[in-house]
């Protein structure tokens, strides 16, 4: 656990961040390039969907990351809320926009992928709909942060919302799948196909690694910015008024 | 604050309030991420009257809310211990009542409905409602909708809740700000009755209230280093 | 009652609520799996269900009859076919557009009401592209009828 | 218990007094139905088919617009401090407030459903499923709404923020509720939908008081 309270002190965090940032960024670019190469040139077209399947290499990692980021957000919120760990609050706050970005990417590529197969830009397919609802969970979380001026309070409230949201995600996912099967017992074409053969797996895993490291590479600087912004804000207060003390006359 | 669960004490009747010692030690409170109060320590015995003074915005209300447990201090502790057997820690929900600048009544309910509602919350018998209404001379206005009351009357209604709660420690923020002189004197008299029964009050005010033997505290930021 | 009693009572209430919620979900899931009938199940039922039901099975080869104008509804051609699960067959009449993936010998789920002669007047017909998207329940039901051997290619 | 009973009685009395929330919910509910019928046109077959979901969505929106008042009114006049000060467990007070909100907004809706059902040519056998699904589902709307209300209580006006926060959390209740309202009483999914709806509301009944209490404690100063 000492890493956790190590990270609690912002100065030490910034030293770690500065150290690993170039490595993470490099790793992201490397795996991204390799992944794209494999995805575009070195993997078979799908026997049913033809070339359209290549969108899968961008869509599936994005959908996966949207869920991963939400779980990180909820986890960091819980740590921040229970142990009052300032850095965890900032991590959760800065993860949200990235998670929302992945969700929008997933939705966008999802509909791009759907057009050739289902003939419509948007199909109320169970998976796409769940990702859409997840996007609203992100928007609600970010809107709550922005609406509350006092950052310390905003952190606690947003943490509660993130945890409530996280606990509801499985219920929402189940209800959307149920809703989908209710009106259309089995989706005619499944988005990610029942099985992915070996040749397709390598680009997919590369892309997921690329997305993951890109997320970390984007997260670190935004956490640093937020920390410096808060330090500035606190400096501005301190010199104006000092905390009051009680003196008996 | 280690909170021992105390058995449900018998409701203190209006004749004798339970004798409780209030103490805050090393309290530090911040609002909006900004430190507002630091190393606040004060102790009050049954019968005491503590008056908090200080310029506007220095944090009097924040301090009262922290005492009343309506605000989480950064660090430090607020304790209510039984005067008779000092070891036993009293639970705040039985020991203190907070009356802020807002009167906590519903405009759409009549004065009597508001009093009855509070009585239910504080588990107070019917007799105590009548006593509180009489003590603050509110009987003629029982059926007025609270929204129609003047600010002075509304304030007296808000203060009546202290009588209904019948808890030993009173935290009051600007009790007499909108009261006329007669009502103000009457309220001070009620406070003296409460103190004689072993209760204690902590009041944030600028009015020079004639409280006998009151201990005056000043909240100030310009403390000699 | 004291605070401690209240807390234990509440904990007890939470457990009851959680258990009830779980129970409700499980029963809901169990009943929903078999929420469609196969032709042989329909046959065996003593009183045909009056309300909308779902019928799953294969479109019997050669049973598809197009364009039979029903007196009432000239606008869309009425189609009739029979659905079989190997054991029994149920006649189905459907007025409306058939999904393009609908073919004889294909898996299908039909939703509608049974009329007095036991023919299913369908309001929705849902066809499948190929076998591995057939809902599991239909697969199991067909296997029970012995009509289905694992891995055997059916349809196009 | 009398304290919780007093809170419920007070909130319901306030809601039904002038300017209270109750009338607001029912009128919004009726308006949605009427506007929808006007928009869709007099195609009775179509209207009757979608009357259930329309009324369910109307009930959801009607509940949602009145969530803002559950805690804000108390905070603005100072009675929130009293509620916190006198409650053994704030979660129980939150449960009472959610129930009071349900009784003040959803109950009138459920009572008004038959009238609106007639206007929207709801088929006769669809009244029971609609009313029952609303009766089981709307408490969940108030419970989850209670969390959102507590989260934003310190903000001057937060209607839009509450809407964004609760909408994703309302999805399961809307799906199961509307699903039950649309299916015939005999159909197996009717029972399944109702059971899932009940399970979701029970889940909300456990989660919501805890989350609301935590949110209120963070919003006290």
pLDDT tens for A106-161 read 999 988 877 776 677 787 778 889 999 999 999 999 999 999 988 889 999 999 99
C-beta of residue D150 within 8 angstroms of C-beta of residue D122: no
Residue C147, classified by CB atoms within 10 Å of its CB into exposed (0-12), middle (13-18) or buried (19+), is: middle
What domains sit in chain B, N to C, each tagged with a CATH number?
Answer: 20-218 (3.40.50.300)
Element (H, E) at A248: strand A245-248
Q: Are residues C25 and C94 in the same domain?
A: no
Question: Which residues form the domain of A50?
Answer: 21-186+195-248
- Looking at chain C, the number of H-run helices and the number of E-run strands are 3, 6
Contact B199, B170 (CB under 8 A): yes
Spacing of C-alpha B59 from chain mean position: 17
Buried b / exposed e over A12-33, threshold 16 CB at 10 Å, is ebeeebeeebeebbebbeebbe
Nearest to A166 by CA among A142, A138, A129: A138
pLDDT at C146: 55
Can you give the residue range of the structural domain that contains C11? 1-33
| Structural contact between residues A176 and A129, judged by C-beta atoms closer than 8 angstroms | yes
Whether residues C22 and C59 share a domain: the answer is: no
User: What number is the ipTM of this complex?
Assistant: 0.79
Same domain for C148 and C75:
yes
CA distance C69 to A221: 70
Separation between Cα atoms, residue C85 and residue C88, nearest integer Å? 6
A55 within domain boundaries: yes
Q: Does D89 touch chain C (CB under 8 A)?
A: yes
Pair (C10, C74) in one structural domain: no
Find, in chain A, the residue whose alpha carbon is nearest to that of C135.
A186
Q: What is the CB neighbour count within 10 angstroms for residue D10?
A: 22
Contact B71 D221 (CB under 8 A): yes
DSSP-H helix ranges across chain D: 2-16, 21-40, 44-65, 68-77, 79-86, 90-101, 107-119, 127-151, 159-182, 188-218
Which residues of C have a CB under 8 Å from any CB of A?
32, 36, 54, 101, 109, 126, 128-129, 132-135
Q: How far apart are CA A69 and CA A96, in angstroms?
A: 7
The alpha carbon of residue D104 is apart from the nearest alpha carbon of chain A, in Å, by 25
- The verdict on B145 touching A (C-beta cutoff 8 Å) is no
Q: What is the CATH number of the domain that holds C116?
A: 2.40.50.140
Interface contact D175, partner A, CB < 8 A: yes
Is 60 exceeded by the pLDDT of residue A194? no
Residues of C in contact with D177 (CB under 8 A): none
- Which residue in chain D is spatially nearest to A179 when comparing CA positions? D175
For residue C17, the chain D residues in CB contact (below 8 A) are 202, 205-206
Same domain membership, residue C62 and residue C23: no
Q: D73 touching A, CB under 8 A? A: no
Task: In chain A, count H helices and then E strands.
Answer: 7, 1
| C-alpha B162, offset from chain centre | 7
User: D84: which chain B residues are within 8 Å (Cβ-Cβ)?
Assistant: 70
Q: Is C146 helix (H, G, I), strand (E, B) or coil?
A: coil
* Strands of chain B, DSSP E: 20-31, 34-44, 49-53, 75-82, 96-99, 169-173, 200-204, 215-220
For every one of its 221 residues, what pLDDT tens digit does chain D have, with 9 covering 90 and above? 589 999 999 999 999 887 777 778 888 888 888 888 888 888 888 888 788 888 999 999 999 988 988 999 999 999 999 999 998 889 999 999 999 999 999 999 899 888 888 888 888 888 889 999 999 999 999 999 999 999 999 998 888 999 999 999 999 999 999 989 887 776 767 888 999 999 999 999 999 999 999 999 999 87
Q: Given strand B75-82, what is the order of strands in its sheet?
A: B34-44, B20-31, B75-82
Nearest CA in chain A to D168: A133
Same domain assignment for residues C45 and C120: yes
- Inter-chain touch A243–B221, beta carbons under 8 Å: yes
Cβ count near C84 (within 10 Å): 21
Question: How many domains is chain C built from?
Answer: 2
Shared-domain flag, residues C21 and C73:
no
Position D90 scores a pLDDT of 92
- List, for residues B40-72, the tens digit of each pLDDT value: 999 999 999 999 998 888 889 999 999 999 988
Considering the domain architecture, whether residues C23 and C39 belong to the same structural domain is answered as: no
C56 and C69, same domain (yes or no): yes
The residues near B25 (Cβ < 8 Å, ≥ 6 apart) are B41, B76, B77, B79
Are C107 and C137 within one domain?
yes
CA distance C95 to C72: 11
Q: Does A11 map to a domain?
A: no
* A102, pLDDT greater than 50: yes
Question: For chain D, how many helices (H) and strands (E)?
Answer: 10, 0
Which of A134, A137, A160 lies closest to D151 in CB terms?
A: A160
**In terms of domains, do C41 and C118 share one?**
yes
Contact D84 B97 (CB under 8 A): no
Cβ–Cβ contact D89 with B under 8 A:
no
Residue B42 forms contact with A (CB below 8 Å): yes
Give me A28's structure tokens: 């992201």
Q: Which residues of A touch D189 (CB under 8 A)?
A: 182
For chain A, the domain total comes to: 1
Q: Please indicate if any CB of chain B lies within 8 Å of the CB of C5.
A: no
Q: Test C133 with A189 for CB contact under 8 angstroms.
A: yes
CB B200 within 8 A of CB B48: yes
- The Cα of C37 is separated from the nearest Cα of chain D by a number of Å equal to 11
**Which residues in chain B have Cβ-Cβ distances shorter than 8 Å to A241?**
34, 221
For residue A68, the surrounding DSSP H or E stretch is: helix A56-83
Sign of the Cα pseudo-torsion (B51, B56, B59, B61, in order): positive
Of B32, B218, B223, the CB nearest to A150: B32
Say yes or no: A84 contacts chain B, CB-CB below 8 A: no
Q: Which residues have CB under 8 Å from B122's CB, separation 6+?
A: B97, B161, B164, B165, B166, B167, D86
State whether A230 and B54 contact (CB < 8 Å): no
The predicted-structure confidence for C58-114, as pLDDT tens digits, reads as follows 888 888 887 655 455 444 567 888 888 777 888 888 877 776 667 777 778 787 778
- B8:C4 CB<8 A: no
Whether C54 sits inside 8 A of A185 (CB atoms) is yes
Residues C21 and C44 in one domain: no
For residue C45, give every residue at least 6 positions away whose Cβ sits within 8 Å of its Cβ, in sequence order, or none: C37
Backbone φ, ψ for residue A76 (5° rounding): -65, -40
The total of other beta-carbon atoms located within 10 Å of residue B134's CB is 12
- Asked if C129's CB is within 8 angstroms of A186's CB, the reply is no
Chain C residues whose beta carbon lies within 8 Å of the beta carbon of residue B5:
2-4
Supply the DSSP symbol for D214.
H
Q: Are strands C53-59 and C107-114 parallel, antiparallel or unpaired?
A: antiparallel
C4 touches chain B (CB under 8 A): yes
Query: What is the pLDDT at residue B111?
Result: 94
Is any Cβ of chain B less than 8 angstroms from the Cβ of D217? yes
């Amino acid at each position: 656990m000492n890493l956790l309270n190590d990270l609690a002190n912002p100065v030490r965090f910034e030293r770690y961040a500065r150290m690993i940032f170039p490595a993470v960024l490099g790793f992201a670019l490397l795996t991204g390039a390799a992944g794209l190469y494999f995805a575009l040139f070195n993997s078979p077209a799908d026997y049913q969907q033809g070339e359209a399947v290549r969108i899968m290499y961008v869509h599936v990692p994005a959908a996966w990351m949207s869920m991963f980021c939400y779980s990180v957000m909820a986890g960091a919120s819980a740590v921040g809320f229970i142990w009052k760990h300032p850095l965890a609050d900032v991590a959760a706050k800065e993860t949200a926009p990235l998670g929302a970005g992945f969700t929008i990417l997933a939705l966008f590529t999802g509909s791009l992928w759907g057009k050739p197969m289902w003939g419509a830009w948007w199909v109320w397919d169970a998976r796409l709909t769940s990702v859409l609802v997840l996007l609203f969970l992100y928007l609600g979380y970010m809107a709550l942060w922005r609406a509350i001026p006092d950052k310390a309070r905003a952190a606690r409230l947003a943490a509660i919302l993130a945890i409530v949201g996280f606990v509801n995600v499985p219920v929402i996912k189940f209800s959307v799948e149920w809703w989908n099967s209710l009106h259309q017992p089995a989706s005619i074409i499944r988005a990610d196909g029942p099985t992915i053969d070996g040749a397709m797996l390598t680009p997919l895993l590369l892309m997921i690694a690329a997305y993951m490291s890109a997320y970390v590479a984007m997260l670190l600087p935004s956490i640093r910015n937020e920390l410096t912004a808060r330090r500035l804000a606190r400096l501005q207060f301190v010199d104006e008024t000092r905390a009051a003390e009680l003196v008996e006359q | 604050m280690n909170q021992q669960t105390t058995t449900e004490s018998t409701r203190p009747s209006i004749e004798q309030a339970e004798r409780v010692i209030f103490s805050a030690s090393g309290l530090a409170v911040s609002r909006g991420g900004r430190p507002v109060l630091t190393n606040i320590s004060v102790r009050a015995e049954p019968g005491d009257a503590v008056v908090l003074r200080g310029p506007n915005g220095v944090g009097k209300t924040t301090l009262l809310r922290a005492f009343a447990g309506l605000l989480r201090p950064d660090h430090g502790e607020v304790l209510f211990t039984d005067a008779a057997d000092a070891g036993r820690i009293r639970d705040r929900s039985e020991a203190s009542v907070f009356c802020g600048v807002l009167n906590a009544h519903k405009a759409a309910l009549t004065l009597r409905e508001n009093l009855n509602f509070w009585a239910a919350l504080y588990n107070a018998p019917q007799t105590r409602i009548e006593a509180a209404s009489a003590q603050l001379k509110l009987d003629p206005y029982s059926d007025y909708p609270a929204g129609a009351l003047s600010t002075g009357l509304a304030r007296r209604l808000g203060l009546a809740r202290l009588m209904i709660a019948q808890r030993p420690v009173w935290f009051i923020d600007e009790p007499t700000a909108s009261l006329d002189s007669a009502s103000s004197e009457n309220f001070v008299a009620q406070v003296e009755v409460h103190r004689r029964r072993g209760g204690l009050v902590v009041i944030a005010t600028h009015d020079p209230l004639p409280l006998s033997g009151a201990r005056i505290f000043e909240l100030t930021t310009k403390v000699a280093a | 009652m004291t605070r401690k009693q209240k807390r234990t009572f509440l904990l007890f209430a939470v457990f009851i609520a959680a258990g009830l919620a779980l129970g409700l979900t499980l029963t809901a899931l169990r009943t929903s799996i078999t929420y469609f009938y196969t032709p042989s199940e329909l046959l065996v039922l003593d009183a045909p269900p009056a309300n909308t039901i779902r019928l799953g099975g294969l479109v019997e080869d050669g049973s598809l009859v197009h364009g039979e104008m029903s007196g009432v509804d000239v606008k869309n051609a009425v189609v009739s076919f029979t659905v079989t699960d190997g054991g029994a067959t149920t006649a189905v009449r459907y007025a409306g557009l058939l999904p393009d993936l609908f073919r004889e010998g294909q898996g299908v789920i039909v939703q509608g009401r049974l009329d007095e002669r036991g023919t299913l007047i369908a309001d929705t017909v849902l066809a499948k592209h190929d076998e591995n998207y057939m809902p599991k329940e239909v697969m199991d039901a067909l296997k029970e009828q012995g009509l289905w051997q694992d891995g055997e290619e059916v349809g196009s | 218990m009398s304290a919780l009973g007093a809170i419920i009685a007070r909130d319901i009395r306030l809601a039904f007094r002038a300017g209270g929330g109750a009338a607001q919910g029912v009128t919004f509910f009726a308006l949605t139905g009427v506007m929808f019928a006007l928009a869709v046109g007099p195609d009775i077959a179509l209207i009757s088919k979608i009357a259930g979901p329309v009324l369910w969505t109307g009930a959801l929106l009607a509940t949602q617009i009145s969530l803002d008042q559950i805690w804000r009114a108390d905070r603005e006049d100072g009675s929130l401090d009293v509620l916190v000060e006198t409650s053994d467990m704030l979660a129980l007070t939150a449960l009472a407030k959610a129930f009071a909100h349900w009784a003040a907004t959803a109950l009138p809706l459920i009572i008004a459903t038959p009238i609106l059902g007639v206007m929207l040519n709801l088929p006769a056998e669809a009244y029971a499923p609609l009313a029952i699904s609303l009766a089981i589902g709307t408490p969940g709307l108030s419970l989850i709404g209670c969390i959102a209300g507590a989260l934003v209580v310190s903000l001057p006006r937060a209607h839009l923020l509450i809407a964004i926060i609760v909408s994703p959390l309302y999805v399961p209740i809307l799906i199961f509720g509307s699903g039950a309202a649309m299916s015939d009483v005999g159909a197996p999914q009717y029972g399944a939908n109702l059971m899932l709806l009940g399970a979701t509301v029970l889940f909300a009944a456990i989660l919501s008081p805890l989350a609301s209490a935590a949110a209120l404690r963070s919003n006290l100063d």
